[in-house]
Amino acid sequence: MTMTAKKEKAPGWSREEMAARAALDIPGGSYVNLGIGIPEMVARYVPEGREVIYHTENGLLGMGPPPAPGCEDPELINAGKKAVTAIPGASFFHHADSFAMIRGEHIDICVLGAMQVSEKGDLANWSTGAPDAIPAVGGAMDLVAGVPTIYVITQHCTAEGEPKLVESCTYPLTGQGVVSRIYSDLAVIDLTPEGFEVAELAPGVDFDYVQQRTGCKLRKGNGLD
Protein backbone atom coordinates (compact mmCIF):
# COMPACT_ATOMS: atom_id res chain seq x y z
CA MET A 1 0.00 0.00 0.00
CA THR A 2 1.37 3.43 -0.96
CA MET A 3 2.32 5.91 1.72
CA THR A 4 1.07 9.43 1.08
CA ALA A 5 1.74 11.57 4.12
CA LYS A 6 -0.73 14.42 4.34
CA LYS A 7 0.38 17.01 6.82
CA GLU A 8 -2.91 18.91 6.90
CA LYS A 9 -5.05 16.21 8.51
CA ALA A 10 -4.48 13.28 10.85
CA PRO A 11 -3.46 10.28 8.77
CA GLY A 12 -5.55 7.16 8.59
CA TRP A 13 -8.89 5.82 7.43
CA SER A 14 -12.24 7.58 7.90
CA ARG A 15 -15.18 5.75 9.49
CA GLU A 16 -16.50 4.90 6.02
CA GLU A 17 -13.08 3.67 4.88
CA MET A 18 -12.76 1.45 7.96
CA ALA A 19 -16.18 -0.08 7.20
CA ALA A 20 -15.25 -0.48 3.54
CA ARG A 21 -11.98 -2.21 4.43
CA ALA A 22 -13.77 -4.64 6.76
CA ALA A 23 -16.37 -5.33 4.08
CA LEU A 24 -13.66 -6.75 1.80
CA ASP A 25 -13.22 -9.59 4.32
CA ILE A 26 -16.90 -10.66 4.28
CA PRO A 27 -17.08 -13.64 1.88
CA GLY A 28 -20.10 -14.26 -0.31
CA GLY A 29 -22.52 -16.72 1.28
CA SER A 30 -21.85 -15.48 4.82
CA TYR A 31 -24.46 -15.02 7.55
CA VAL A 32 -23.38 -11.83 9.29
CA ASN A 33 -24.41 -9.85 12.36
CA LEU A 34 -23.38 -6.19 12.41
CA GLY A 35 -23.18 -4.18 15.62
CA ILE A 36 -24.51 -0.66 16.07
CA GLY A 37 -22.45 2.29 14.78
CA ILE A 38 -19.57 1.94 12.30
CA PRO A 39 -20.13 -1.86 11.99
CA GLU A 40 -23.62 -1.21 10.56
CA MET A 41 -21.99 0.66 7.68
CA VAL A 42 -20.15 -2.48 6.51
CA ALA A 43 -23.27 -3.65 4.64
CA ARG A 44 -22.99 -0.69 2.24
CA TYR A 45 -19.52 -1.69 1.09
CA VAL A 46 -19.63 -5.45 0.55
CA PRO A 47 -18.39 -5.88 -3.03
CA GLU A 48 -21.06 -6.46 -5.66
CA GLY A 49 -21.64 -10.06 -6.59
CA ARG A 50 -21.31 -11.38 -3.02
CA GLU A 51 -24.62 -12.51 -1.54
CA VAL A 52 -24.46 -11.86 2.20
CA ILE A 53 -27.36 -12.42 4.62
CA TYR A 54 -27.66 -10.04 7.56
CA HIS A 55 -29.01 -11.20 10.90
CA THR A 56 -30.40 -8.87 13.52
CA GLU A 57 -30.76 -10.51 16.90
CA ASN A 58 -34.21 -9.15 17.67
CA GLY A 59 -35.55 -11.69 15.19
CA LEU A 60 -34.87 -11.15 11.49
CA LEU A 61 -32.63 -12.96 9.03
CA GLY A 62 -32.40 -11.17 5.69
CA MET A 63 -32.33 -7.60 6.95
CA GLY A 64 -32.32 -5.04 4.17
CA PRO A 65 -31.42 -1.33 4.11
CA PRO A 66 -33.45 1.34 5.91
CA PRO A 67 -36.86 2.05 4.35
CA ALA A 68 -37.65 5.21 2.39
CA PRO A 69 -38.75 8.08 4.64
CA GLY A 70 -42.43 7.67 5.49
CA CYS A 71 -42.35 3.89 4.97
CA GLU A 72 -41.04 3.00 8.45
CA ASP A 73 -42.84 0.19 10.29
CA PRO A 74 -42.42 0.32 14.09
CA GLU A 75 -42.72 -3.46 14.14
CA LEU A 76 -39.92 -3.98 11.61
CA ILE A 77 -36.76 -2.84 13.38
CA ASN A 78 -33.18 -3.90 14.00
CA ALA A 79 -31.31 -4.51 17.24
CA GLY A 80 -30.59 -0.79 17.47
CA LYS A 81 -34.38 -0.26 17.34
CA LYS A 82 -34.08 1.51 13.98
CA ALA A 83 -36.53 0.89 11.13
CA VAL A 84 -35.23 -1.58 8.54
CA THR A 85 -36.60 -3.63 5.66
CA ALA A 86 -36.78 -7.36 5.02
CA ILE A 87 -35.32 -8.65 1.74
CA PRO A 88 -37.04 -11.29 -0.40
CA GLY A 89 -36.14 -14.59 1.27
CA ALA A 90 -36.12 -13.07 4.77
CA SER A 91 -37.54 -14.81 7.84
CA PHE A 92 -38.83 -13.75 11.24
CA PHE A 93 -38.37 -15.81 14.41
CA HIS A 94 -38.53 -15.52 18.17
CA HIS A 95 -35.66 -14.55 20.45
CA ALA A 96 -34.65 -18.04 21.55
CA ASP A 97 -34.30 -19.13 17.91
CA SER A 98 -32.46 -15.93 17.09
CA PHE A 99 -29.94 -16.51 19.85
CA ALA A 100 -29.68 -20.19 18.95
CA MET A 101 -28.38 -18.94 15.59
CA ILE A 102 -25.77 -16.96 17.52
CA ARG A 103 -24.95 -19.31 20.40
CA GLY A 104 -25.16 -22.41 18.21
CA GLU A 105 -22.42 -21.05 15.88
CA HIS A 106 -24.71 -20.67 12.88
CA ILE A 107 -23.84 -17.00 12.30
CA ASP A 108 -20.44 -16.90 10.56
CA ILE A 109 -19.15 -13.40 11.25
CA CYS A 110 -19.97 -10.64 13.70
CA VAL A 111 -18.60 -7.12 13.45
CA LEU A 112 -18.59 -5.11 16.68
CA GLY A 113 -17.27 -1.92 18.21
CA ALA A 114 -14.84 -1.92 21.14
CA MET A 115 -13.80 0.08 24.16
CA GLN A 116 -10.66 -2.06 24.58
CA VAL A 117 -9.13 -5.15 22.97
CA SER A 118 -6.29 -7.01 24.68
CA GLU A 119 -3.40 -8.76 22.96
CA LYS A 120 -5.00 -12.04 24.02
CA GLY A 121 -8.12 -11.16 22.04
CA ASP A 122 -10.20 -10.23 25.06
CA LEU A 123 -12.93 -7.71 24.23
CA ALA A 124 -14.42 -5.03 26.49
CA ASN A 125 -17.31 -3.19 24.85
CA TRP A 126 -20.28 -3.03 27.22
CA SER A 127 -19.32 -1.16 30.39
CA THR A 128 -16.73 1.24 31.74
CA GLY A 129 -17.43 -0.17 35.19
CA ALA A 130 -18.16 3.35 36.48
CA PRO A 131 -20.14 3.07 39.72
CA ASP A 132 -22.96 5.40 38.63
CA ALA A 133 -23.41 3.79 35.19
CA ILE A 134 -26.56 1.83 34.41
CA PRO A 135 -25.21 -1.57 33.37
CA ALA A 136 -26.55 -2.74 30.01
CA VAL A 137 -25.19 -5.66 28.01
CA GLY A 138 -27.75 -6.63 25.35
CA GLY A 139 -26.54 -9.43 23.06
CA ALA A 140 -22.82 -8.59 23.03
CA MET A 141 -21.73 -11.45 25.30
CA ASP A 142 -23.82 -13.95 23.33
CA LEU A 143 -22.33 -12.79 20.03
CA VAL A 144 -18.70 -13.06 21.12
CA ALA A 145 -19.28 -16.43 22.80
CA GLY A 146 -21.13 -17.98 19.89
CA VAL A 147 -19.97 -16.48 16.60
CA PRO A 148 -16.74 -18.11 15.35
CA THR A 149 -15.28 -14.99 13.70
CA ILE A 150 -15.41 -11.69 15.58
CA TYR A 151 -14.17 -8.60 13.78
CA VAL A 152 -13.79 -5.31 15.63
CA ILE A 153 -14.00 -1.88 14.02
CA THR A 154 -12.74 0.87 16.27
CA GLN A 155 -10.79 4.09 16.43
CA HIS A 156 -7.24 3.15 17.39
CA CYS A 157 -7.34 5.48 20.42
CA THR A 158 -10.03 7.03 22.59
CA ALA A 159 -11.09 10.66 22.13
CA GLU A 160 -8.59 11.45 24.91
CA GLY A 161 -5.78 9.72 22.99
CA GLU A 162 -5.58 6.63 25.20
CA PRO A 163 -4.75 3.37 23.40
CA LYS A 164 -7.69 0.97 22.97
CA LEU A 165 -5.38 -1.91 22.02
CA VAL A 166 -3.84 -2.91 25.31
CA GLU A 167 -1.91 -5.64 27.10
CA SER A 168 -4.92 -6.46 29.22
CA CYS A 169 -8.34 -4.81 29.45
CA THR A 170 -9.08 -2.58 32.43
CA TYR A 171 -12.81 -2.41 31.62
CA PRO A 172 -15.15 -5.35 32.40
CA LEU A 173 -14.85 -8.02 29.71
CA THR A 174 -17.46 -8.98 27.16
CA GLY A 175 -15.59 -12.17 26.32
CA GLN A 176 -12.14 -13.77 26.61
CA GLY A 177 -9.93 -14.50 23.60
CA VAL A 178 -12.72 -13.85 21.10
CA VAL A 179 -11.43 -11.21 18.65
CA SER A 180 -9.97 -12.38 15.30
CA ARG A 181 -9.14 -9.09 13.57
CA ILE A 182 -9.27 -5.36 14.25
CA TYR A 183 -9.93 -2.62 11.68
CA SER A 184 -8.80 0.66 13.22
CA ASP A 185 -8.38 4.04 11.58
CA LEU A 186 -4.64 3.32 11.41
CA ALA A 187 -4.26 -0.36 10.53
CA VAL A 188 -5.69 -3.82 10.07
CA ILE A 189 -4.43 -5.93 12.96
CA ASP A 190 -4.75 -9.68 13.45
CA LEU A 191 -4.90 -11.49 16.77
CA THR A 192 -2.33 -14.28 16.79
CA PRO A 193 -1.08 -16.58 19.54
CA GLU A 194 1.87 -14.15 19.84
CA GLY A 195 -0.39 -11.10 20.18
CA PHE A 196 -1.22 -8.23 17.82
CA GLU A 197 0.16 -8.51 14.29
CA VAL A 198 -0.18 -5.62 11.84
CA ALA A 199 -1.44 -6.92 8.51
CA GLU A 200 -1.99 -3.60 6.73
CA LEU A 201 -1.31 0.08 7.36
CA ALA A 202 -3.65 2.93 6.43
CA PRO A 203 -2.32 5.44 3.86
CA GLY A 204 0.11 7.87 5.43
CA VAL A 205 0.68 5.68 8.46
CA ASP A 206 3.85 3.76 9.26
CA PHE A 207 4.42 0.94 11.70
CA ASP A 208 6.10 3.12 14.34
CA TYR A 209 3.19 5.57 14.27
CA VAL A 210 0.79 2.73 15.06
CA GLN A 211 3.12 1.27 17.69
CA GLN A 212 3.34 4.63 19.49
CA ARG A 213 -0.46 4.65 19.79
CA THR A 214 -0.79 1.07 20.99
CA GLY A 215 -0.65 -0.06 24.62
CA CYS A 216 1.52 -3.12 24.00
CA LYS A 217 4.01 -4.52 21.54
CA LEU A 218 2.96 -4.98 17.90
CA ARG A 219 4.51 -7.41 15.45
CA LYS A 220 4.87 -6.87 11.71
CA GLY A 221 2.87 -9.22 9.54
CA ASN A 222 4.27 -10.82 6.40
CA GLY A 223 2.79 -8.15 4.16
CA LEU A 224 4.84 -5.37 5.77
CA ASP A 225 8.48 -4.52 5.15
Output the smallest distance, CB 93 to other proteins, in A.
7
- Residue ranges binding other proteins (CB under 8 A): 56-60, 73-77, 81, 86, 92-96, 98-99, 102-103, 122, 127, 132, 134-142, 145-146, 172-176
Q: Estimate to the nearest angstrom the gap between the alpha carbon of 181 and the chain centroid.
A: 9
**Options 8, 17, 40, 57, the catalytic residue:** 57
Is 69 or 161 the residue whose CB approaches other proteins more closely?
A: 69
Is 5 or 137 the residue whose CB approaches other proteins more closely?
A: 137
Output the smallest distance, CB 131 to other proteins, in A.
10
Output the smallest distance, CB 44 to other proteins, in A.
21
Is 85 or 211 the residue whose CB approaches other proteins more closely?
A: 85
Active site residue 57: yes
Q: Which residues pair with 189 in a beta bridge?
A: 182, 198
34 and 140 Cβ atoms separated by less than 8 Å: no
Is 140 or 210 the residue whose CB approaches other proteins more closely?
A: 140
Helix, strand, coil percent content, the chain, rounded in steps of 5: 15, 30, 55
With CA atoms as reference, report the closest residue to 213 among 173, 170, 184: 184
Q: Give one DSSP letter per residue of 129-161, joined into a string.
A: --TTS----TTHHHHHHH-SEEEEE--SB-TTS
The DSSP letter of residue 42 is: G
Output the smallest distance, CB 121 to other proteins, in A.
11
Active site residues: 57
